[in-house]
Amino acid sequence: MAQIVEQRLEQHETRGRTLTLKVKFSDYQQLTRSKTMLAPISELDTIFEIAKTLFELIELENRSIRLLGISLSNLDNAKQIQVIQLPLFQNGNIIF
């Protein structure tokens, strides 16, 4: 699942800051856990490790899982990130 998320991020040239894990049990009860990172992520290893950590926090209590999913939100379009360099001088004078 982490690999599919990574491939979709790469395809859309984006990254995300919030990873969400969804677990649905056989009795249709559903749990979600999420973690928001300070910096956007898109690397497979990072996605996998965060999802694994969130999964380990869930108490399974001998329950059967019928659905498991991960998603990344709080997206940051990498195409739109641009570095803007402002001029230091204008008409021979330093700009403050």
Say which residue, 78 or 83, is predicted with more confidence: 78
* Residue 77 DSSP SS3: strand
- Adjacent-strand bridge partners of 19: 35, 72
Q: Given a cut of 60, is residue 80 above it in pLDDT? A: no
The strand order across the sheet containing 65-77 reads 30-41, 14-25, 65-77
Q: Given a cut of 60, is residue 70 above it in pLDDT? A: yes
pTM: 0.76
Specify the length of the chain in residues. Answer: 96
Give Rg (Cα) of the chain. 20
Q: Are 23 and 31 in contact (CB under 8 A)?
A: yes
